[in-house]
Structure 1
């Protein structure tokens, strides 16, 4: 009886041992599998963290770049608007200047035709007329203005030489009629470069000589002050300015 119990117990323990062995084998297999899976997940986690860090840095870099680009875009937008307004103003001014230039060109052509008929001479941007009769200074100026011109204003040594080439004693657009000794041109500008003959202006013998004339032809010092009531030939000048 005891033997049978012992044998039965041995058999049971043997079966339990085999079961435990099988269970152990399964557990060890599962453990190895879980270990492998854990290691794989850890590698994937490390890779994921590296990618996440890289993407975070790239994102932050893009944010900074976008902020800079947005600021630059706002600046460029302001500049564009300013340039657009400036261009619009420039275009309007250009169109106005073009219109003015075209009008000047038409006036130039019209006056050129008149000038040819009346024997006006063209020189360095102006038309000049030397009279064939004599008048006092005021009447001479009136005759110039009647033709859209004025008594000549001499601005350079070259122009002074040009006016002397007419070889006539003639009125020019210079006077001190407004204030004694304050010589100015008919356009109101003050005299800066002069070609007075020696001793002039001098109000010769106490006479009131408030108007300027070309007196000498063979010298750069060709101007003289004379009484405006005297009668002289005169030189008219019609200026055309195409700089606009």
Structure 2
């Protein structure tokens, strides 16, 4: 509502505004004074820093500042006169407004009741319409979101099935490779055992070699026949191993399928319990949100009503200032129209209330359905990520087995022999120690390092009566024997009296035991390449 202003208040406003004008004038005067002081100060600068033309320009600026000062004073006087005229016009309009206000107040009393009722209904109608539109929009958005989640759920289900299939295939392939690897290891151990037995037999024959040469030849013939017979038995063993591997693979597949079904059953039970817990929590949260929504809606309606009333009152008073006389004649007609409009708005209010309740129900249902789909989407995403991780691990494991298997096959074809996580290569020719090591490095390995009695026994059977270089020397410090990897020799299998450092003997060979020899001597050599056999 507009408040009548008294004449003393108007006078105070005039004095306040005139004070502001004086302050503006004093500020302009101070600014010009400061500019003059700055100009005078600048005149004290030596001639070396300010030229004569510069001084003339400063004098011109001083004159322009004086002109600006006169303009500010004229503008202040003009604004003061304009303010007095505006104040006189406002007073005249205020007197006229008081005469019309008395007549308006009589009609305003009867019009206020109907107007307030109409405004309330109009506000309720507007609020319900907006709420209906919001619910309609929310309903549409939830339906679209539900469709998107449904599509994502379907895609994730398909992706999960594909990953599950790939996981099963990789698991089966890994098991087959693992089985093959285990079988090859067992076969290698058997061959190693046979090799050891044959080596022991050969050593016995070697002991009587000097006395029974003819008997050795006969035994060598028998050995050849036994080797052929062993190869036949080995072929039969291989066929039986392949048949056993096929049966083992079938057993593994059935076991994996049973475990998979058991895991799926457990996961579904856990997922059902999680969904039940989520449903309980969401129900409690929904009730809290419903209560908060009701309170906020009531508060919003009150604020909206107050805002609408204030806006209508402001607009009506603004219009009444120029149209109060015409409004007096139209108020009677407006009363009848407002009554009819009130009835129409009442009907619209009832219809919108019913429509709002229906939309609220649809909104609640769609929200619940969206939450369920969101939960399913989250679970499927987690399951997909787990399967993806398993798929990646199994792929890496399979590739590692393939690489190691290929390396073993390739090394075997190149003449390398496997023993206790290392590959060994025996040369056919003879070279010095340095040349032998250079050849080993070209093959991606180094000269032999012996760390145990078992390895020494294996080398004794591998070298076949050859004296071979090993990766041991004391060329850096006499008497300090080091392996080619830089480590000092701890375990040793020297001949009696060795090493004796007779002359320049800085490198080591082995026959049955070790001995030091000059590094430029010509012997066969054995290369060693360590490999990783664990998966």
Bin the TM-score by the shorter chain. 0.5 to 0.7
Counterpart of 1:213 (choices 505, 509, 514) is: 509
Q: Distance in 1 between matches of 2:399 and 2:515?
A: 38
Structure 1 unaligned blocks of 5 or more: 1-94
Cα shift at 1:243: 5.6
Residue of structure 2 in register with 1:202 after alignment: 500
Q: Structure 1 residues 212 and 243, CA, compared in 2 at 3 Å: closer, same or farther? A: same
Residue of structure 1 in register with 2:532 after alignment: 241
Q: Structure 1 residues 240 and 208, CA, compared in 2 at 3 Å: closer, same or farther? A: same
Cα shift at 1:198: 0.6
Residue of structure 1 in register with 2:335 after alignment: none
Cα shift at 1:111: 3.2
Report whether the alignment pairs 1:140 with 2:431: no
Report whether the alignment pairs 1:121 with 2:412: no
Q: Provide the TM-score with structure 1 as the length reference.
A: 0.53
Cα shift at 1:104: 6.6
Residue of structure 2 in register with 1:149 after alignment: 445
Q: Structure 1 residues 198 and 110, CA, compared in 2 at 3 Å: closer, same or farther? A: same
Tell me if structure 1 keeps the 8 A contact 2:428–2:524. Answer: yes
Q: Distance in 1 between matches of 2:399 and 2:474?
A: 34
Cα shift at 1:113: 3.0
Post-superposition CA distance 1:57-77 (Å, at most 9, x none): xxxxxxxxxxxxxxxxxxxxx
Q: Structure 1 residues 104 and 236, CA, compared in 2 at 3 Å: closer, same or farther? A: farther
Cα shift at 1:110: 4.2
Cα shift at 1:108: 3.5
Q: Structure 1 residues 198 and 107, CA, compared in 2 at 3 Å: closer, same or farther? A: farther
Secondary structure of the residue that 1:193 maps to in structure 2? Answer: coil
Residue of structure 2 in register with 1:161 after alignment: 457
Cα shift at 1:212: 0.5
Report whether the alignment pairs 1:226 with 2:524: no
Q: Structure 1 residues 149 and 230, CA, compared in 2 at 3 Å: closer, same or farther? A: same
Q: Distance in 2 between matches of 1:116 and 1:170?
A: 21
Cα shift at 1:121: 0.6
Tell me if structure 2 keeps the 8 A contact 1:134–1:231. Answer: yes
Q: Distance in 2 between matches of 1:117 and 1:203?
A: 39
Q: Structure 1 residues 109 and 132, CA, compared in 2 at 3 Å: closer, same or farther? A: same
Post-superposition CA distance 1:134-172 (Å, at most 9, x none): 000011011111111111110100000111112210000
Residue of structure 1 in register with 2:269 after alignment: none
Structure 2 unaligned blocks of 5 or more: 1-391
Q: What is the number of equivalent residue pairs in this alignment?
A: 141
Tell me if structure 2 keeps the 8 A contact 1:150–1:238. Answer: yes
Secondary structure of the residue that 1:231 maps to in structure 2? Answer: coil
Secondary structure of the residue that 1:145 maps to in structure 2? Answer: helix
Specify which structure has the higher proportion of helix.
2
Q: CA RMSD in A?
A: 2.4
